C-alpha cells in the first residue's frame, strides 16, 4: 500500500497520508522524484518517523496479537476519596459497555489512580490496552507508576527515540504520535491530558487514536481542561464524570489580574518591571518557591540574568532543556528559589507551596486551557492548599476571563462535596 494516496477533485489533487491520516494539503510537498520518475508527493506531518511518499510502501505493525494472560496482579492499596471512587466506577461501567467516557478532573485530583481499576479489568479479560498522552514527559512519568501497579503485566512505552522491544505488549504507553504505528490494535484507549498545553487540538492525532483502536473499542479521555468539542462529543455519544474538587477538598486558586505595561521593552532594556520585581522579592523573602511563565523563549532568556541578580540560583527551563527534570527537582527540594519557564513542566510533579506568575497573560499561547493548567500547579498539597496565581498582562483577553469563570464554576460545583 502506498504511503501517500492522491485523488483528483475539482480543486486539483487531494493527498492523504495513510500512516498519520493527514489531509492538510499544506503539509504535503510535491517534487520531481528520481525514484518513481514522476511528480511524487510526501507527507511532512509524520516525516520524523521516516518519510512516506506516493512511491513508498507503508509499514504498519500488523503482527498477530498473542493471546494475552487473563490474570494480572494489581499492586495498589491507595485510598480513593468517595468522589474518586464514584468516578472510577463510572469509568469502569463505560469500559464494560464499550462507551467512550470523559473524565473531567481538575488538576491535582489524582487522575492516574482513577484509571487503575478499569485498566485492571481490561487486562484480566485478556484485552489489549493503550494509554496515550501527547507528551513524552507524561509517558515517562506514568511508566514507573504503572509498572508498580501492574507488576506481572508486560508494559511497553513508545515515544520518539525509545528502544522498543515489545510492540506486542498487552499494555502500551505511547505518545499520540506513536499511535500512527498501530491499526485496529487496542480493545480500549485512554487518552491522558487530552487538551495538554502546549499541545493544541490536532485532528490528525484524534484520527490516529481512532485508527489505533479496534472498531468497537471505547476511547476514554482524561483531562483537566476539556475543549468544548470534547465535552459536546461525550455528551452526545458517551459518558462524563466530573471531579471538581482536588483530593484535599479545597477549591482551585482563582487567578488575579495585574497590569504590567511594556514588559517586553523593559526586559529588553535590562530592567525587571516594578510589579514583577516586587512580586519576586516577596517570594524570596517569604522563601516561597515560584514559577514564572513566559510566552517566548527569547524573552525568558533575556530576563534570566536580570533575575539572577536577585538570586543567582534562579534559572530558566524550557521544553528542550536536557536537564529540565533535574531543575524541577531542585525547585522541589528548595535548592533553587524559583524557575522561569515557557512550558508547563512535569505535570504530575507537585511542588509544595509553589506560587505562580504569568508574564504577558494576554499572549495568544496562553489560551483558557493553558491558563487553567498553569493555575493547577498552585495549592496542590496539604498544608499549602492555596497560593498566589497572578496574571501580569497588558489587557485582559477572553481566554483570561473564561479561565477565571471556569475555575469559579468548578469551585462552585465542588462545593456540596460530591
Of these partners, other proteins, Zn ion, none, which one is at the site of residue 48 (CB under 5 to 8 Å by kind)? Answer: other proteins
Give the nearest distance from C-beta 290 to Zn ion in angstroms.
30
Give the nearest distance from C-beta 33 to other proteins in angstroms.
5
**What residues from 16 to 35 belong to the interface with other proteins (CB under 8 A)?**
26, 29, 31-35
Q: H or E segment at 371?
A: helix 368-375
Give the nearest distance from C-beta 114 to Zn ion in angstroms.
33
CA distance 80 to 97: 23
When binding is defined by CB under 8 A, the residue of 4, 17, 40, 243 that contacts other proteins is 40
Cβ proximity to other proteins, 6 vs 55, nearer residue: 55
Cα–Cα separations (whole angstroms), residue 223 to 34, 105, 230, 317: 46, 6, 10, 24
When binding is defined by CB under 5 A, the residue of 22, 109, 355, 367 that contacts Zn ion is 22
CA distance 165 to 158: 10
Round to the nearest angstrom and report the end-to-end CA distance of the chain.
52
Of these partners, Zn ion, other proteins, none, which one is at the site of residue 241 (CB under 5 to 8 Å by kind)? Answer: none
What sign results for the dihedral spanned by CA atoms 166, 171, 175, 181? positive
Of these partners, other proteins, Zn ion, none, which one is at the site of residue 29 (CB under 5 to 8 Å by kind)? Answer: other proteins
Cα–Cα separations (whole angstroms), residue 356 to 72, 279, 336, 407: 42, 10, 15, 16
Give the nearest distance from C-beta 37 to other proteins in angstroms.
9
Task: Judge whether 22 and 43 are in contact, CB under 8 Å.
Answer: yes
CA distance 122 to 42: 38
Taking CB under 5 A as the rule, does residue 40 contact Zn ion? yes
Closest CA to 263 of 152, 361, 381, 138: 361
CA distance 125 to 68: 9
C-alpha cell at 280: 519576586
Residues facing 352 on adjacent strands: none
Task: Judge whether 292 and 306 are in contact, CB under 8 Å.
Answer: no
Of these partners, other proteins, Zn ion, none, which one is at the site of residue 51 (CB under 5 to 8 Å by kind)? Answer: other proteins
Taking CB under 8 A as the rule, does residue 51 contact other proteins? yes
Cβ proximity to Zn ion, 56 vs 223, nearer residue: 56
What sign results for the dihedral spanned by CA atoms 196, 139, 376, 406? positive
When binding is defined by CB under 8 A, the residue of 48, 82, 322, 383 that contacts other proteins is 48
Taking CB under 5 A as the rule, does residue 36 contact Zn ion? yes
Taking CB under 8 A as the rule, does residue 322 contact other proteins? no
Taking CB under 5 A as the rule, does residue 17 contact Zn ion? yes
CA distance 375 to 371: 6
**What residues from 41 to 80 belong to the interface with Zn ion (CB under 5 A)?**
43, 45-46, 55
Cβ proximity to other proteins, 47 vs 148, nearer residue: 47
Of these partners, Zn ion, other proteins, none, which one is at the site of residue 50 (CB under 5 to 8 Å by kind)? Answer: other proteins
CA distance 173 to 134: 11
Task: Judge whether 352 and 381 are in contact, CB under 8 Å.
Answer: yes
**64 phi, psi to nearest 5 deg:** -65, 125
When binding is defined by CB under 5 A, the residue of 35, 62, 98, 229 that contacts Zn ion is 35
Total residues contacting Zn ion by CB under 5 A comes to 12
Give the nearest distance from C-beta 9 to Zn ion in angstroms.
19
Of these partners, other proteins, Zn ion, none, which one is at the site of residue 212 (CB under 5 to 8 Å by kind)? Answer: none
Taking CB under 8 A as the rule, does residue 160 contact other proteins? no
When binding is defined by CB under 8 A, the residue of 25, 38, 50, 166 that contacts other proteins is 50
Taking CB under 8 A as the rule, does residue 53 contact other proteins? yes
Cβ proximity to other proteins, 87 vs 299, nearer residue: 299
Q: H or E segment at 146?
A: helix 136-149
Cα–Cα separations (whole angstroms), residue 202 to 28, 71, 207: 16, 37, 9
Cβ proximity to other proteins, 25 vs 70, nearer residue: 25
Cβ proximity to Zn ion, 111 vs 211, nearer residue: 211
Residue ranges binding other proteins (CB under 8 A): 26, 29, 31-35, 40, 42, 44, 47-48, 50-51, 53, 55, 297-298
Residue ranges binding Zn ion (CB under 5 A): 17, 19-20, 22, 33, 35-36, 40, 43, 45-46, 55
Amino acid at each position: 500500500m502506498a504511503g501517500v494516496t492522491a485523488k483528483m477533485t475539482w480543486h486539483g489533487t487531494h493527498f492523504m497520508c495513510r500512516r498519520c491520516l493527514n489531509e492538510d494539503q499544506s503539509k504535503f510537498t510535491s517534487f520531481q522524484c528520481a525514484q518513481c520518475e514522476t511528480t511524487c508527493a510526501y507527507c511532512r506531518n509524520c516525516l520524523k518517523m521516516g518519510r512516506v511518499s506516493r512511491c513508498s510502501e507503508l509499514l504498519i505493525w500488523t503482527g498477530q496479537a498473542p493471546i494475552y494472560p487473563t490474570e494480572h496482579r494489581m499492586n495498589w492499596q491507595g485510598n480513593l476519596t468517595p468522589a474518586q471512587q464514584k468516578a472510577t466506577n463510572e469509568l469502569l461501567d463505560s469500559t464494560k459497555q464499550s462507551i467512550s467516557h470523559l473524565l473531567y478532573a481538575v488538576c491535582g485530583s489524582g487522575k492516574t489512580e482513577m484509571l487503575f481499576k478499569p485498566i485492571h479489568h481490561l487486562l484480566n479479560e485478556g484485552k489489549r490496552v493503550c494509554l496515550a498522552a501527547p507528551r513524552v514527559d507524561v509517558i515517562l512519568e506514568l511508566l514507573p507508576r504503572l509498572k508498580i501497579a501492574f507488576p506481572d503485566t508486560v508494559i511497553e512505552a513508545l515515544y520518539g527515540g525509545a528502544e522498543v522491544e515489545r510492540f506486542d505488549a498487552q499494555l502500551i504507553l505511547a505518545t499520540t504520535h506513536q499511535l500512527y504505528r498501530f491499526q485496529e490494535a487496542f480493545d480500549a484507549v485512554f487518552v491522558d491530558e487530552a487538551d495538554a498545553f502546549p499541545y493544541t487540538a490536532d485532528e490528525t492525532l484524534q484520527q490516529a487514536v481512532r485508527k489505533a483502536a479496534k472498531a468497537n473499542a471505547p476511547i476514554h479521555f482524561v483531562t483537566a481542561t476539556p475543549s468544548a468539542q470534547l465535552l459536546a462529543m461525550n455528551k452526545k455519544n458517551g459518558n462524563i464524570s466530573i471531579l471538581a474538587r482536588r483530593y484535599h477538598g479545597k477549591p482551585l486558586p482563582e487567578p488575579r489580574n495585574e497590569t504590567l505595561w511594556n514588559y517586553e521593552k523593559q526586559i529588553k532594556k535590562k530592567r525587571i518591571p516594578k510589579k514583577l520585581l516586587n512580586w519576586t522579592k516577596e517570594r524570596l523573602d517569604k522563601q516561597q518557591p515560584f514559577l514564572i511563565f513566559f510566552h517566548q523563549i527569547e524573552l525568558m532568556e533575556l530576563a534570566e540574568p536580570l533575575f539572577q541578580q536577585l538570586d543567582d540560583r534562579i534559572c530558566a527551563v524550557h521544553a528542550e532543556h536536557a536537564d529540565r527534570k533535574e531543575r524541577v527537582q531542585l525547585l522541589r527540594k528548595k535548592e533553587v528559589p524559583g524557575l522561569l519557564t515557557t512550558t508547563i513542566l512535569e505535570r504530575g510533579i507537585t511542588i509544595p507551596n509553589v506560587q505562580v506568575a504569568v508574564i504577558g497573560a494576554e499572549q495568544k499561547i496562553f489560551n483558557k486551557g493553558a491558563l487553567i493548567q498553569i493555575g493547577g500547579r498552585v495549592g496542590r498539597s496539604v498544608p499549602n492548599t492555596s497560593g498566589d496565581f497572578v496574571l501580569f498582562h497588558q489587557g485582559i483577553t477572553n481566554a483570561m476571563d473564561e479561565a477565571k469563570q471556569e475555575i469559579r464554576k468548578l469551585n462552585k460545583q465542588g462545593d456540596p462535596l460530591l
